[in-house]
Amino acid sequence: MDFDRSRARLAAPRAAARWRRSLSGAALALYSATGQGPGAQTPINVPSAADSALLALVHAAVRRSNPDVLARRAARDAAQARAAATGYALPLFLTGELEEVPSGLDASRAGSIRLALEKDFLSGARRAGARAVAETDVQAAVAALDAAERRAVALADRAVVRSLVWPAIAQRLASEDSLLTSAEVSLRTRFAVADAKYVDVLRLRTERLRVQTERAAAVTEALVARRSLDALMMPNDSTASAVRRVIDSVIARNTTPTVAPGPPPSVDSLLAASAAARVGAAAVARAQASRALLLAEQRPRVSGFAGAQRFSTDNGQFTVGPVIGASVSLAFTAKRANTAGVAAAEREIVAALASRDAAVTTLRAQLLAARDRYDAARTRMAVFDAALLRGAREERESALASYRGAEISLLELLDFERALARAETDRMRSQIDAADALADLIGGAFGSVAEPRGGSAPAGGVEP
């Protein structure tokens, strides 16, 4: 027995040295995997068909029942209805006139009675101008609706990723806490026989508190993500209920989700389709159409009337005859007002162009910055070596067993588990960072929607 104990005492330093070399290699590998060293890059796993089906389900629910999309859709329908009701000719006017009424009471003995129908002529330019102005409101409303749909889909993608990844992070932290609990049991046993220091007990308890605090924060973030996803859909929508059930099923399977963010969209294509560019273009078109309508309104207005008139003759009898006439507005008599109106309309065009260019220029800088953040997030995801993480994960139980056998110290066990947990949670957090960066990129292009003139969409626009 004494021989066995002596051999164990001699073997313990060699085993500890071996574990120190192993843990140092693992720590270096995890250091590289977190992007802080020259780690090998491996392809990111592609989402499964179930993940694609989930996203398709979420997109359909958001497009159908998102409150902001519904409001923008109603504003578009209202703009289309206004455009359909614009540009019609004015109705006919029926005019009547009585003259020379005896005592002011007997209309049948009036000296003159006239009835006529009056109609405007040459009003096609004015009606076409009014239709053009209304059509620009439709263009702005359609652009606002498209931007709201794209932004809602981007926010939904981010909420789905957060709803799946944060529970996985919480589960990983719970696994770390479970390992520390097992180590604590061994530590208490060794402390009871004076084979461990009290400072190790304090160190282990402090580490468990840190892990539990981070896990509580991850659980809170998961709950917030679910609330954010719920806020993107109407609560009574059947598809929204199906989305919640599918997400709960994915979380219940306790599998770590892997999201594969693709290359970022072209900034030029985002600018061309952005809310700033499309709504700005609609504002310019509206200013131009308003100027054309103003010029049409300043043209002479021609109206004519035709009817019949009954009037008395010299012998006291009455006779009936036709009556016809026309009227023309004299636009040149308001030349000063017309000139000032045209100048103001031209200034409106210049202002609309300047506003559009300023918005697009500012948006380009914002999109370039957002794309850089997205590229950085994708780079961070690419540096994680999945095979290396799996290999290090398989060593967890061996590390715990070695600690129980007094082959490694508590500090070595804590360093190993902390490095492994940090690498795995950082890998999952990088997926959240990529989803956030992509949502910011899409939100930058479609998040700031100007209110269409004459529209009934909610005020305040959409914040990025």
What is the percent of the chain where pLDDT is above 70?
A: 77
**pLDDT tens-digit series, residues 339-383:** 999 999 999 999 999 999 999 999 999 899 989 988 888 888 777
In three state form, how does the secondary structure of 243-282 look? HHHHHHHHHHCCCCCCCCCCCCCCHHHHHHHCHHHHHHHH
Helix (H, G, I), strand (E, B) or coil at 106: coil
Q: Which structure tokens are listed for 362?
A: 């500012």
Which pLDDT score, from 0 to 100, does residue 143 have?
92
**Total residue count of the chain as it appears in this document:** 464
**pLDDT tens-digit series, residues 305-345:** 898 888 777 776 788 888 898 989 888 888 899 999 999 99
**pLDDT tens-digit series, residues 233-282:** 888 877 778 888 888 887 877 665 555 667 888 888 888 888 889 999 99
Q: Are 222 and 170 in contact (CB under 8 A)?
A: yes
User: What global pTM score does this model have?
Assistant: 0.72
Amino acid type, 38 = P
Radius of gyration of the chain (CA): 39
DSSP lists the bridge partners of residue 121 as: 302
* Those residues with Cβ within 8 angstroms of residue 51's Cβ, 6 or more apart along the chain or in another chain: 257, 259
CA 458/CA 412 separation, integer angstroms: 59
Q: Residue 6 above 60 pLDDT?
A: no
Least confident of 38-42, 43-47, 149-153, 297-301: 38-42
Q: Residue 463 above 70 pLDDT?
A: no
Average pLDDT over the chain reads 78
With the C-alpha atoms ordered 196, 198, 199, 203, is the resulting torsion angle positive or negative?
A: positive
Q: How many CA within 13 A on the CB side of residue 190? A: 19
Greater model confidence, 110 or 148: 148
Amino acid type, 364 = R
Q: Which stretch of DSSP H or E encloses residue 332? A: none
Exposed e or buried b per residue across 12-25, where buried means at least 16 C-beta atoms within 10 angstroms of its C-beta? eeeebeebeebbee
Please state, in angstroms and as integers, the Cα–Cα distance from residue 81 to each residue in 12, 145, 152, 202, 225, following that order. Answer: 86, 16, 25, 72, 38
**DSSP category for residue 331:** G
Q: Which structure tokens are listed for 128?
A: 């076409």
Please state, in angstroms and as integers, the Cα–Cα distance from residue 191 to each residue in 184, 185, 337, following that order. Answer: 10, 10, 98
CA 180/CA 191 separation, integer angstroms: 16
With the C-alpha atoms ordered 118, 121, 125, 127, is the resulting torsion angle positive or negative?
A: positive
Whose tokens are 């989803």? That residue is 435
Domains delineated in the chain: 2-90+130-284+350-446 (1.20.1600.10)
Q: Residue 8 above 50 pLDDT?
A: no
Q: Are 431 and 116 in contact (CB under 8 A)?
A: no
Q: Which structure tokens are listed for 186?
A: 């061994």
Please state, in angstroms and as integers, the Cα–Cα distance from residue 12 to each residue in 8, 16, 348, 407, following that order. Answer: 6, 6, 86, 6
Given strand 302-312, what is the order of strands in its sheet? 93-99, 112-121, 302-312, 318-328
When pLDDT is cut at 50, 70 and 90, the band that residue 220 belongs to is: very high
Q: Are 328 and 301 in contact (CB under 8 A)?
A: yes
**DSSP category for residue 34:** I
* Those residues with Cβ within 8 angstroms of residue 361's Cβ, 6 or more apart along the chain or in another chain: none
Q: Which structure tokens are listed for 367?
A: 């999109």
List helix spans (H) across 193-237: 198-231
Backbone φ/ψ region at 87: left (φ over 0), alpha (ψ -120 to 50), beta: left
When pLDDT is cut at 50, 70 and 90, the band that residue 23 belongs to is: very low
